[in-house]
């Protein structure tokens, strides 16, 4: 029994490491979309983390988020601020979704998990950006220039909270929904391979 347990743990660690590597690659394949400022990038790196959270539990999903951000930190041009923010926001998403999914382990709990996780991730992004990311970026380029980047798209933006509510909150929630949709398409096919069934 102990030998089987060790084999399962080694397999789980190996799969989480592989998913972390895949997430790292996906994080580099980020791209801008025209309806938000160019520094808000869309990527699909939460996909492997969400798969890990569903397959092995929420902490495995958080571990994938940690791996991808440590790798990304080595190549970061944002002095690590972007990686820290990405980890905090992504970890909130996958932990919440994975935790709720583990309660029922069915399609309904998965749907509720990603819905709640996406909304909580969006709310978390407000506070992470307002209190951590933008104050540091403001030291490099001033808050006025940051607000101006938002005003190029919507001139009615007056302050940072307004910019975050109008742009970052919906952007982050939609990003969660997109990663969730991809997870639903792939998870059932990948689950037996990941778990070695």
What confidence score (pLDDT) does residue 141 get? 82
What's the fold here for domain 2-195?
A: Arp2/3 complex 21 kDa subunit ARPC3 (1.10.1760)
Quick one: average pLDDT of 167-178?
94
* Contact call for residues 164 and 126 (beta carbons, < 8 A): yes
Q: Which residue has the higher pLDDT, 77 or 115?
A: 115
What confidence score (pLDDT) does residue 189 get? 83
Q: What percent of the chain has pLDDT over 70?
A: 95
Q: Which residue has the higher pLDDT, 184 or 37?
A: 184
User: Which DSSP string corresponds to the chain?
Assistant: -HHHHHHHHHHHHHHHHHHHHHHHHHHHS-EE-TTS-TTSEE--THHHHHHHHHHH-HHHHHHHHHHHHHHHHTT-SSTTHHHHHHHHHHHHHHHHHHHHHHHH-SHHHHHHHHHHHHHHHHHHHHHHIIIIIHHHHHHHH-HHHHHHHHHTT-TT--SHHHHIIIIIHHHHHHHHHHHHHHHHHHHHHHHHHHHT-
Q: How confident is the model at residue 3 (pLDDT cuts 50, 70, 90)?
A: low
Q: Which residue has the higher pLDDT, 1 or 86?
A: 86
Nearest residue to 43 (alpha-carbon basis) of 101, 12, 83: 83
Q: How confident is the model at residue 138 (pLDDT cuts 50, 70, 90)?
A: confident
Q: How confident is the model at residue 73 (pLDDT cuts 50, 70, 90)?
A: confident
Query: What is the chain's mean pLDDT, rounded?
Result: 89
∠ CA 127-64-196, rounded to 5°:
145
What confidence score (pLDDT) does residue 8 get? 58
* Contact call for residues 45 and 26 (beta carbons, < 8 A): yes
What confidence score (pLDDT) does residue 120 get? 97
pLDDT in tens, 62-72: 999 999 999 98
* Contact call for residues 98 and 53 (beta carbons, < 8 A): yes
What confidence score (pLDDT) does residue 5 get? 56
Q: Which two tokens stand for residue 22?
A: 């895949």
What confidence score (pLDDT) does residue 45 get? 93
CA-based radius of gyration for the chain: 18
What confidence score (pLDDT) does residue 127 get? 96
pLDDT in tens, 5-21: 555 588 889 999 999 99
What confidence score (pLDDT) does residue 36 get? 79
Q: Where are the domains of the chain?
A: 2-195
């Amino acid at each position: 029994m102990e030998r089987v347990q060790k084999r399962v743990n080694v397999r789980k660690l190996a799969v989480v490491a592989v998913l972390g590597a895949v997430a790292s690659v996906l994080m580099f394949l980020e791209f801008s979309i025209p309806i938000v400022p160019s520094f808000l990038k869309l990527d699909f790196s939460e996909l492997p983390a969400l798969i890990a959270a569903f397959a092995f539990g929420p902490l495995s999903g958080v571990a994938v988020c940690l791996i991808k951000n440590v790798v990304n930190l080595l190549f970061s041009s944002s002095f690590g601020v972007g990686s820290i923010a990405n980890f905090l926001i992504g970890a909130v998403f996958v932990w919440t979704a994975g935790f709720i999914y583990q309660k029922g382990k069915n399609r309904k709990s998965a749907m509720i998990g990603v819905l709640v996780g996406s909304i909580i991730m969006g709310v978390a992004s407000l506070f992470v950006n307002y209190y951590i990311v933008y104050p540091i970026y403001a030291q490099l380029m001033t808050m006025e220039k940051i607000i101006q980047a938002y005003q190029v798209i919507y001139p009615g933006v007056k302050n940072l909270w307004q910019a975050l509510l109008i742009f970052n909150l919906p952007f982050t929630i939609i990003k969660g929904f997109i990663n969730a949709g991809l997870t639903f398409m792939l998870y059932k096919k990948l689950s037996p391979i990941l778990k070695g069934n």
